[in-house]
Amino acid sequence: MFDKTEDKLNEAAGTARELYGKHTNSPDNELKGAARKYASQASYAVRDATDNVRDQVSTNPIAGLAVAAAVGVVFGFLLGRK
């Protein structure tokens, strides 16, 4: 739960650094701020997707097992090809 909050705070800090870089004409600060902002957005999206999958599997475990089996079969097929 606090990880998502941390991601949002890092996103805000990245946005602030990016704006600081734009106003001071510092490409280094602008680039580092943008990288931090987008990395935080990606991290938040991954955590959100993980939480959604965890919730779906806990409410319907049979479907979770079926999806896991299907993924295993696909990986087995792809890795077993010569």
Q: If you average pLDDT over residues 56-60, what whole number do you get?
A: 90
Give the pair of three-digit tokens for residue 28: 């280094």
Residue 24 is inside which H or E element, if any?
Answer: none
**Residue with token string 């409410």:** 59
Using alpha carbons, list the distances in angstroms from residue 20 to 5, 6, 26.
Answer: 23, 21, 8
Give 1-37 pLDDT, tens digit per residue: 578 888 888 889 999 998 988 899 989 989 989 999 9
DSSP assignment letter at 29: H
Give the pair of three-digit tokens for residue 70: 């299907």
This prediction has a pTM of 0.68
